[in-house]
Structures are given as structure tokens and as C-alpha cells.
Amino acid sequence: MTIVLAFLLLVLALLVSIQMAAAAPTLPTITVDTVSPQPAEPGQNLLIGITLFNRLNSAGDFSVLLDAQSPFVLKSSEKDLEQVHLCAGCRIKNTYFLTIEPVALSGTYPVYLMLSSGGAEVEEQIDVKIQGKPSIIFTADTEGLNEI
């Protein structure tokens, strides 16, 4: 029950933390389709899938950059969206491949997507939960317990 509740809270936090590009009417909309796995583990690979949708009435040139700071390392992406021309009503999907540093501590960390065109710019925040598996081993010395 607590795992389901934690998962629902995480999904809700992810939805709330993604600021929609509607505040910038001269820019397309970015939708985060996938963050997998969630939660992720230190040393593990991470996929972030997005869709860029040009809801504007005209074509345009746009730039999408993923800012992955520690504990994330951007390995590659399916497409280079640093300079993309997108027709009106068109969409393009992209998947980013990242690695989580093996020394990452458990917690929630942001990854940022920057979308820009001309002078307009918007930043989308994607929260990724990292949960490490403890590697602590406890031993008990039972010698002398009968004498207590």
C-alpha cells in the first residue's frame, strides 16, 4: 500500500513540476512521455522520452537542450534537437539516454529541458527519484551472551 501511495505521489509531483510551455505562446509544447526506470538506482541507465509539438499556426526553428547535471551523465539522444525546423501542427519525438553516477545518493534530482526560439525561452523541470539499495551488513557476535 505504501509503495502504491509513494508511486502515486511521485507521479503527481512529476506532473506538477513540469511547467507547461503554454506560458510562452511563441514556443511549441514539450511533453515528457517517459522517465524510466522510476525510481532509478545509482549506476543504472535512465531513459527520458519527450515529444515536441508545434501547436503554432506557422513553422519555426526551435532548439531543445537537455541539461543533465550531477548525478546524471548524458550519454546520447536519438535525435539532435539543438536546431530543429518544425512545421505548424507537427511533432517530433526524442529519447535521451543518461547514466546515473554510481556514487549518487538517494533522493529526487532535477533534469532540465530548455526550449528556445528567437528571444523566447522556457525551462521544463523533470524530477527523477534515485533510490539506492543499502549495502550494509550487520553481524551479531553471540559469544558471551549467556553471561549477561
C-alpha dist (Å) from residue 123 to 66, 90, 101, 106: 10, 21, 24, 25
The pLDDT assigned to 38 comes to 94
The pLDDT assigned to 20 comes to 42
The pLDDT assigned to 22 comes to 42
Q: Using 70 as the pLDDT threshold, list the residues of the chain that sit under it.
A: 1-25, 135-142, 144-145, 148
Distance in angstroms (rounded) separating the CA atoms of residues 73 and 32:
19
Q: Which segments within the chain are labelled E, that is strand?
A: 29-36, 45-53, 60-67, 72-77, 84-86, 91-100, 107-117, 120-130
